[in-house]
Structure 1
Amino acid sequence: MANVSVAAEWQLLYNRYYRKPELYPMRWKHVDLARHKVAAAPFGGPVAVIRDDSKIVQLHAESALRKLRLFNSAGHPLADAVWRHPGGRLIGMSWNDDLTLVCVVQDGTIYRYDLHAQLVEPNISMGKECFEQNVADCAFWGNGVVCITEQNQLFCIPDFRNPKPVPLADPMIDEPPRCIAVIEPQYTMSGNVEVLLGVADDPVVLVVEEDGVQRLGEGLLRGPLQKMVVSRDGKWLASFTHDGRLLVTTSDLTGIIIERECESSLPPEQIAWCGMDAVLLYWDDMLLMMGPDGDPVHYLYDEPIILIPECDGVRILSNTSMEFLQRVPDSTVSIFTIGSTSPAALLYDALDHFDRRSAKADENLRLIKPSLPEAVEACVDASGHEFDVSRQRTLLRAASYGQAFCSNFQRDRIQEMCKILRVLNAVHSPEIDIPLSIQQYKLLSPSVLIGRLINAHRHLLALRMSEYLGMNQEVVIMHWACSKITASLSIPDATLLDILLDKLKLCKGISYAAVAAHADKNGRRKLAAMLVDHEPRSSKQVPLLLSIGEEDTALMKATESGDIDLVYLVLFHIWQKRQSLEFFGTIQARPLARDLFITYARCYKHEYLKDFFLSTGQLQDVAFLLWKESWEFVKNPMASKGSPLHGPRIKLIEKAQSLFAETKEHVFESKAAEEHAKLLRIQHELEVTTKQAIFVDSSISDTIRTCIVLGNHRAAMRVKTEFKVSEKRWYWLKVFALATIKDWVALEKFSKEKRPPIGYRPFVEACIEADEKAEAIKYIPKLADPRERAESYARIGLVKEAADAASQAKDGELLGRLKLTFAQNAAASSIFDTLRDRLSFPGAS
């Protein structure tokens, strides 16, 4: 009997059964759909209602103020808001994918509302053209809208997450289109939205895109289309023709799938796909369901209805009820069809016999033994498609009963279905009233469902569902915490903190910083500071502390973390906000922050660093900075040209010298800076007098050498005297300088002034390096050491003289070296061999 009563509710459309159970009686009051504009969200979503200002209606007990009212699917009020928007009448409204209500008004302004009837800022404009021409009609899809103006121009917003209006191609029509439909971007070849227009008195459909217009259906259509709707997957187009036929074609209008006469030539008020198998057409008292063949199914209504397409059927909203028209699933048909002898039906029947302790139960099981896994699966599948909890339970009991005799059935299949049904039943329940089917649930996904629950402030159910499904609870707890802060303005900070922490600690790794940021945004800075103190991750904690003005705490946390990037973040933030002395005092107490500041400022901010060192009494560090700055002048291209830059540079060095002089530990640096300044001043004067920029930044030795080379012996002597250059050093410098300019007369004169303190070897070296052998001969005899004389003679190629000097030295090793020097000269080699023999050195060859 149960099977008969279930199947008795079904309607047969050709060879497929359809059912239309009531999901909920509507609990709203004073809502007449005929007097209102209505927008219902798919996936069992909310319903938005507002009085239709294009109709003259009797107000009854209502206020004259128009209100936007939001209800759930059972007519339970969620929120409302007074409609106070200028810009002309409301053209259309729809829920987008994230359950934001999008309302388009006549001047092209788009207002958006959340689930709590709060206006979402900012408002969006469709552009100047829509404002000037007025919007005449609009069509929505998942996350976009297309508007047509009174001048028949089209504009679209492809994605409300980036709400930029895009003009479409001009359709070049004089009259408004009779109907409009949209193929979503995800189903088009171009990836852009395609708008289908049914044109008056023209048997074609215009397809309008950004870059052009196509005419489709020429030769296929016999007249203009009155209504049209694209299937969910974008492949098919169902339309109502001018002569009262239902026409189903491919969406590119290249082929007709169904063409059937309807019972009225008046265009229907609404047309919708019911799944992918049937099309619904609604006139003011009749709903007609038509399939590819067979007689259509009629449903009569004495009240207005709204068709809400779903992926697996259509929800039907009326003033008094919410129904769901869907194709009966195959598993349900196999069990409950009248007279069914399928394995699933016999298994379901066997449970009934088992409950009544009838032996017929065993008989049924024996009959279906080979097909028992399929029968169990059918019972499990059918349970998922039921809204009635008792019927779900009976079907699952039948599956469980069959599974006991079935060894190769997946054991977790029933458990998985129980889990899904528990979730679905929870959201079907009163107060929640989201009538999701199992197919809708799978398409929507559990994470999106939980997101919708928390946006509706159903946090407890969302939390339990997350826990039950093994999902991350952080999203739910975070949203709850933020909502609690917003709604608890009268609760003291300390009390609210305890309430929040009690829940936040349930989830490891939760972002206290994000909750604190929300508290700060709501003007509760003290609560934000207390919350952020519980954030374990410095990278999240420190930026928030800065944003709420807790700079000192932020610096402490950053330095404790040891994260250099974080410390620099805080340093730069405080640096910009505070006076220099206050900033220096802040960082002085924290060695890491201080050292990082010094490192940065040493490279980029010398002035600040000098101020810092002065504020802390580190005079020697200021001095080193000044000295370093003096060398920066060298990099200035002007420094090599003229001397204006040398004056400030010398003053910097003198200032550094005076700072060094104030500390006992830096006597050497003080003296070095003093002499450096003195040398630069002399070099600067020399460049002025010689008009050659070759002195500055050379050493004392180079300065003397350059003076001698230029013939300025008085200046060279002055430098020698000023810097107390030793006689030996002076002689070395002057000898080589005179050799450089090949002033041999002066060199000889210099050698005779007095006995050179460096001896005559430098004179010899200078002459040999200048390749002046004749000059070298003048000084070689004056060398006191016979070895030096022998080697010098050898270097200029005088064999005999070298041999004589070597023989005086009586050094066999020296003779051997000299022999190698003249290895190419046989006569010379012989001389050195003879000398070695004479000295009776062994080993001569």
Structure 2
Amino acid sequence: MCALVTADWSPYARNKYFRKIELYSMVWHREVNLETCSLTVAQNGGPIVILRDRAKLLKMQGPSHQPIVAIYSSSGKLLNSFVWDKGQLVQLGWSSTEDLLCIQEDGKVLIYNMFGVYQHAWDIFLMGKEASGSKIVSATIFPSPGATGLAVITSANEVFVVTNVNENHRRVRQLSKCPSAPTAWTVICEERQTKVIVSKNQNLYTLQSDDSPVLQKIDLGAGSEKYSIVSMAVSPDYQKIALFINNGKLWIKSSDLRSTYRLYDTQQLSEPKQLVWCGSDAVVCYWGSTINVIGCTEDQLSYVYDYPVFLVSEIDCVRVLSAESHHIIQCVPTVVQEIFQINSESPGCFLLEASKQFQKRSHRANEYIHIVKPKISSAVTQCIQAAGHEFNASIQKSLMTAAQFGKCFMTDFDSSEFVKMCRVLRLLNQVRDPQVGIAITYEQYEQLGIDKLIDMLILRRYYYLALEVSKYLRLSSSEGSERILLHWAYYKVKQPVVDKNKVAKEIYDKIGRSAGISYIDIANEAANNMNVQLAIRLLDYEPCATKQVPQLLKLRQENEALVKAIESGNTDLVYTVILRMKANRGLDAFHMEIRNYPMAEALYIKYCKSHNKRALHEIYKQEDDYNNKAACQIKEAYLPGNTKEAGLLEAQENFKKSKSEFAAFAAMMCEEELKLIKHQKQLEDKLKKDFLGLTLNETLEKLLSLKEVKLADNMKSEYKVPDRR
């Protein structure tokens, strides 16, 4: 086993090793030629975008000179490709959310997902910063705390930085101007500030805020004026920087340029094709056929290739991509080295050997256990930790079996770490499968966390696998199933839909009445993607009417909204829909429509009685409801400022049009009231006293009090008032 594990180990420095681990045989090997293509690779085993590099082609192939952008998984499986028919590309890169960023020389940044679907775009030069009409000549995309940033240099040597491209309101900062066109540059992004390091010949400048560039003097030795810094790279933790000089020297310094870790002579006068970091402990230089791994303080080793490769820096390794394979080079983790190193005497090594002998039913197992028993806890922990750093499933199994074997000799061992590692290994092995193609290391997984890994599965549309992972790891619904199903539903509603009812039912069957998922959100997504009918069907499953009805109104489905509001019994919702319908339709059309909903019509009439008398009259007119119309006219007749006679006459006419017995009596009463008003006006003219507004009895009493007995007697006779009254 040790011989198998250490076969690809290379000695390095004092008691250290580097190892090369093949992850995939690339599926693309017949499609991709690295000599005629340029690659951009996402971090943590993410997708790969390939662009035909026109500078490397002797003759353009095909009828069009427009390059083709092809996106692959890290195992080389084609995800999508499309012709680039936009502006001149300056730089491609990947965001922390695995979106493809395409920076054009005119300042536009176009965003695509990993399947080549256009998302949106924004303009660096239209965000409060003027670039004097110049173009972008160089750009880089870099990790920033919890996000992704980008920096550009224009033809006028202006420097612009965006520290978070994922923000809705991106802030573009203009740094101090470069003294002249740089020969090399890089970005150092720290939590509180972002600065750009640029070189011009032998000089280094630090650019930040709007201050003048800070010149950093570096002694390149005798005749330094002849030399230039032609390439630079910053470590993943932004603590170190590597500078390559065209005399073959490699400087490794602290990122503030104050401390020097190493000055190494590579014996190569030409600029390396790539200068990247392997974690934060070694610099990797690539010269066509040789990869040199140079430590920060000592030693170096070389790997020779007879085919083109492409390097990708990671936090704990460097990825090496070729047309045939995808492998990593990394410093062997300490715990792995302690177990598998030749002649190792670590507890984990003895426990692993004891486990092997036990499986062979050899008595030597007892001898090894006797040796390791005083440190059995440490041995078990070593085996568990080492298993996490291995990619080979059989080696993982051997180490975990050894840990399980060692547990038998402990009385108070906490199994939680063992169980956790078993789950993590199953997860990592699954996502590393070539079909999924997320070639993530254990250290990268620890940095990202399970939430981010599930996001990566969701982005690749492996929804079922993501659900199984969340169940296996026993994640809460909000962290697992609900979040995954919501993204799955978003994906479903974005697709061209033939049968809306079928798709809506399929979504409901998966999601059900899950408390953490709102059908409103899914319906919104459907509507935003021009699937309005699907959105309406989805809203049928929303249990909360106060959310459902406003969304239906937003989709201009007023009749549907009215039905749902009536079913809910919430009069406020019904009023909301009624008033929206009234505002959006002609009055006649609205009145004709509202007649089909008796409850809504009753509420509308109630509303009109208080707020809109004219509309109320129109309703009664359309319905031939003469009694209610007359009743309204009587009420209005007695309002201050209105003429009673006119209102009562109209009411009398409407009562006469009605066929009911009550209407005949009401018409007679209107006539009596009109006659009383007429008499009261005559009395006022004759006696110069106020009579209007009094009842018949009050009028008689007032006449008697004024000693007008004859007038009172005449009114009594005319109105047939009984003697007793």
Is the 1:180–1:228 contact (alpha carbons within 8 Å) kept by the matching residues of 2? yes
Give 1:215 shift: 0.6
Specify which of 232, 236, 257 is matched with residue 236 of structure 2.
232
- DSSP 3-state at the match of 1:393: helix
- Bigger fraction of residues in strand: 2
Instruction: Check if 1:575 corresponds to 2:582.
Output: yes
Cα distance in 2 for partners of 1:148, 1:681 equals 94
Specify which of 345, 369, 376 is matched with residue 349 of structure 2.
345
Instruction: Check if 1:368 corresponds to 2:367.
Output: no
Give 1:513 shift: 4.3
For 1:106, the aligned partner's letter is E
Cα distance in 2 for partners of 1:673, 1:258 equals 113
- DSSP 3-state at the match of 1:381: helix
- DSSP 3-state at the match of 1:21: strand
- For 1:167-566, what aligned pairs fall within 5 Å after superposition? 168-173=174-179, 175-184=180-189, 187-190=190-193, 193-202=194-203, 204-209=204-209, 211-215=210-214, 217-218=216-217, 225-241=229-245, 243-471=247-475, 472-487=480-495, 489=497, 491-497=498-504, 499-505=506-512, 510-521=517-528, 524-564=531-571, 566=573
Give 1:659 shift: 5.3
Is the 1:155–1:168 contact (alpha carbons within 8 Å) kept by the matching residues of 2? yes
Cα distance in 1 for partners of 2:220, 2:669 equals 100
Cα distance in 2 for partners of 1:658, 1:17 equals 109
Cα distance in 2 for partners of 1:31, 1:673 equals 100
Give 1:102 shift: 1.0
Cα distance in 1 for partners of 2:676, 2:366 equals 114
Once the two structures are superposed, residues 486-526 of structure 1 have per-residue CA deviations (whole angstroms, 9 ceiling, x without a partner) of 5564x544554554444344966644444444555555555
Is the 1:67–1:80 contact (alpha carbons within 8 Å) kept by the matching residues of 2? yes
Partner of 1:619: 629
Deviates more, 1:14-23 or 1:618-627: 618-627
- For 1:143-158, what aligned pairs fall within 5 Å after superposition? 143-158=148-163
Once the two structures are superposed, residues 169-188 of structure 1 have per-residue CA deviations (whole angstroms, 9 ceiling, x without a partner) of 34152x3111221233xx24
Specify which of 664, 675, 690 is matched with residue 719 of structure 1.
690
Cα distance in 2 for partners of 1:474, 1:121 equals 27
Cα distance in 1 for partners of 2:704, 2:248 equals 122
Partner of 2:721: none
Once the two structures are superposed, residues 122-181 of structure 1 have per-residue CA deviations (whole angstroms, 9 ceiling, x without a partner) of 4646449669322110011243322211111123344334365735134152x3111221
The 1:165/1:722 distance shift into structure 2, 3 A limit, reads closer
For 1:169, the aligned partner's letter is L
Partner of 1:769: none
Give 1:50 shift: 1.0
Cα distance in 2 for partners of 1:624, 1:448 equals 72
Cα distance in 2 for partners of 1:421, 1:624 equals 85
Alignment length, in residue pairs? 676
Is the 1:315–1:325 contact (alpha carbons within 8 Å) kept by the matching residues of 2? yes
Once the two structures are superposed, residues 270-290 of structure 1 have per-residue CA deviations (whole angstroms, 9 ceiling, x without a partner) of 222222222222222222222
TM-score (norm 1): 0.71
Deviates more, 1:341-350 or 1:594-603: 594-603
Partner of 1:66: 67
Give 1:36 shift: 1.5
- DSSP 3-state at the match of 1:20: strand
The 1:364/1:621 distance shift into structure 2, 3 A limit, reads farther
Cα distance in 2 for partners of 1:111, 1:120 equals 8
The 1:294/1:624 distance shift into structure 2, 3 A limit, reads farther
- DSSP 3-state at the match of 1:212: coil
Cα distance in 2 for partners of 1:288, 1:680 equals 117
- For 1:675-690, what aligned pairs fall within 5 Å after superposition? none
Is the 2:175–2:207 contact (alpha carbons within 8 Å) kept by the matching residues of 1? no
Once the two structures are superposed, residues 596-628 of structure 1 have per-residue CA deviations (whole angstroms, 9 ceiling, x without a partner) of 646766676554455445545332674488469
Give 1:249 shift: 3.1
Give 1:547 shift: 4.3
- DSSP 3-state at the match of 1:140: strand
Partner of 1:650: 642
Give 1:399 shift: 0.5
- DSSP 3-state at the match of 1:416: helix
Partner of 1:6: 5
Cα distance in 2 for partners of 1:336, 1:679 equals 121
Cα distance in 2 for partners of 1:153, 1:198 equals 14
Cα distance in 2 for partners of 1:147, 1:626 equals 74
Partner of 1:739: none
Cα distance in 1 for partners of 2:523, 2:693 equals 70
Is the 1:238–1:279 contact (alpha carbons within 8 Å) kept by the matching residues of 2? yes
The 1:716/1:43 distance shift into structure 2, 3 A limit, reads farther
The 1:351/1:583 distance shift into structure 2, 3 A limit, reads same
Give 1:400 shift: 0.4
Cα distance in 2 for partners of 1:11, 1:716 equals 128
For 1:719, the aligned partner's letter is D
Is the 1:197–1:205 contact (alpha carbons within 8 Å) kept by the matching residues of 2? yes
For 1:141, the aligned partner's letter is F
Partner of 1:841: none
Give 1:359 shift: 1.4
Is the 1:220–1:254 contact (alpha carbons within 8 Å) kept by the matching residues of 2? no
Is the 2:176–2:207 contact (alpha carbons within 8 Å) kept by the matching residues of 1? no
Is the 1:571–1:593 contact (alpha carbons within 8 Å) kept by the matching residues of 2? yes
Cα distance in 2 for partners of 1:254, 1:731 equals 116
Q: Mark the structure with the bigger radius of gyration.
A: 1
Is the 1:108–1:130 contact (alpha carbons within 8 Å) kept by the matching residues of 2? no
- DSSP 3-state at the match of 1:546: helix
Give 1:532 shift: 2.9
Is the 2:124–2:172 contact (alpha carbons within 8 Å) kept by the matching residues of 1? no
Partner of 1:637: none
The 1:536/1:200 distance shift into structure 2, 3 A limit, reads same
Deviates more, 1:495-504 or 1:232-241: 495-504
Cα distance in 2 for partners of 1:205, 1:681 equals 102
For 1:22, the aligned partner's letter is E
- Bigger fraction of residues in helix: 1
Which structure has more RCO (C-alpha within 8 Å, separation ≥ 6)? 2
- DSSP 3-state at the match of 2:258: coil
The 1:219/1:37 distance shift into structure 2, 3 A limit, reads closer
Cα distance in 1 for partners of 2:177, 2:52 equals 33
The 1:126/1:32 distance shift into structure 2, 3 A limit, reads farther
- DSSP 3-state at the match of 2:54: coil
The 1:170/1:727 distance shift into structure 2, 3 A limit, reads same
The 1:219/1:657 distance shift into structure 2, 3 A limit, reads farther
Cα distance in 2 for partners of 1:380, 1:672 equals 104
Cα distance in 2 for partners of 1:23, 1:679 equals 110
Is the 1:18–1:326 contact (alpha carbons within 8 Å) kept by the matching residues of 2? yes
| Runs of 5+ consecutive residues of structure 1 not aligned to the other structure | 632-648, 683-699, 705-713, 735-752, 755-845
TM-score (norm 2): 0.82
Cα distance in 2 for partners of 1:627, 1:245 equals 103
| Runs of 5+ consecutive residues of structure 2 not aligned to the other structure | 656-662, 709-725
Instruction: Check if 1:114 corresponds to 2:113.
Output: yes
Partner of 1:790: none
Give 1:450 shift: 2.3
Is the 1:182–1:195 contact (alpha carbons within 8 Å) kept by the matching residues of 2? yes
Give 1:375 shift: 0.8
